[in-house]
Amino acid sequence: MKKFINDTETLLDESIVGFAKAHTDIVQLHTEPTFIRRNSDTKAGKVVIISGGGSGHEPLHTGFVGQGMLDAACPGQIFTSPTPDQMLAAAEATENGGGVLFIVKNYAGDVMNFEIAAEMLDVSNESVLVDDDVSLPKDHSTGRRGVAGTLIVEKIVGAAAEQGYDLAACKALGDKVVKATASMGVALSSCTVPALGKPTFDLADDEMEMGVGIHGERGRETLKLAPASEIVKHLTQAIDEDLVPEKGQRILLHVNGFGATPLLELHLMYDLAAQHYEQQGIEIYRSLVGTFTTSLDMAGCSITVTLLDDEMLSLWDAPVNTAALRWKI
């Protein structure tokens, strides 16, 4: 294992300090307990949007703290949920009279710890559970995992809160975006967790892992490596079976890299996915290509589709200024 590391025990602490120093215009770091919060002021009564999860998925979630998106993010150790005291401290530091909305990926540790924090918090709060990974059946024992679609939820709901939506409206909107979003991923290699010093699973040179998660877990099946066009067919078929988009439907198409996949390949995958939907008469109104929800150094990518309506499209276009996502319309 070759990594830029001093000590696996201090990796997160040192990295989060570096992140905060690199983006002092947008965020500030709080320690003991650790969380990142936005620097910019918010209007009184604004709903606070908070998310978080294990590290190793950067820029999710800390990279999405800032104007128009998250008010705070709580990073846990690598692939480990943050603790309730982190979430509680972040909420108490940022709450501004409008209540708190937690955006939670559907993993047992995240769900449990955010629920504990919500029970301890002495202000109005709600949660949105993201479960966009269609590689798992809807009736899976633990439910579907939250993966790259989390970014879509955070952006749209963050914009709504910035525009003055109240807590109930932000919650309803978040649930709507989750229902309209589906993701499917594929890995060409596993990731290497620093504390383990080895890949979490092995793949032969001629194999790929279809339906992989973002914590180095295996997917739903191991297949022989195929041309990119065939891989995209696997991914889009699973998404289409879930969302059942109709001709004329407007969508947001997101191709996300898992950490070790170059943009050269991600844009090729985007083109193939775009061709698939264009041939069906489905309208790609917005797109996002890049490395946003990672699994450390995994080689692979995911495709995410969100069915858009006028409200969601407007909120996606709304200005955002974070370390990893920023634009002005």
Rounded mean pLDDT for each run of 10 residues along the chain, 329 residues in total? 92 97 98 96 96 98 98 97 98 97 97 97 97 92 93 98 98 98 97 91 96 93 98 98 97 98 98 98 98 98 98 98 94
The pLDDT of residue 162: 98
The pLDDT of residue 141: 78
215 catalytically annotated? yes
**Helix-then-strand count for the chain, H and E:** 8, 17
Is the pTM of the predicted complex or chain greater than 0.75? yes
Copy the structure tokens of residue 272.
């193939």
Domain architecture of the chain: domains with CATH: 11-180 (3.40.50.10440), 181-315 (3.30.1180.20)
d(CA 222, CA 266): 21
From the candidates 23, 57, 61, 254, give the one annotated as an active-site residue. 57
From the candidates 23, 215, 254, 276, give the one annotated as an active-site residue. 215
- Exposed / middle / buried, residue 328 (Cβ in 10 Å: 0-12, 13-18, 19+): exposed
The pLDDT of residue 142: 83
d(CA 312, CA 36): 26
Sequence-distant (6+) residues with CB within 8 A of 271 are none
The pLDDT of residue 125: 98
SS3 assignment, position 177: helix
234 catalytically annotated? no
How far CA 222 is from CA of 146, 206, 214, 265, in Å, comes to 21, 10, 16, 21
The pLDDT of residue 153: 98
Give the CA dihedral 139, 145, 146, 147, nearest 10 degrees: -130
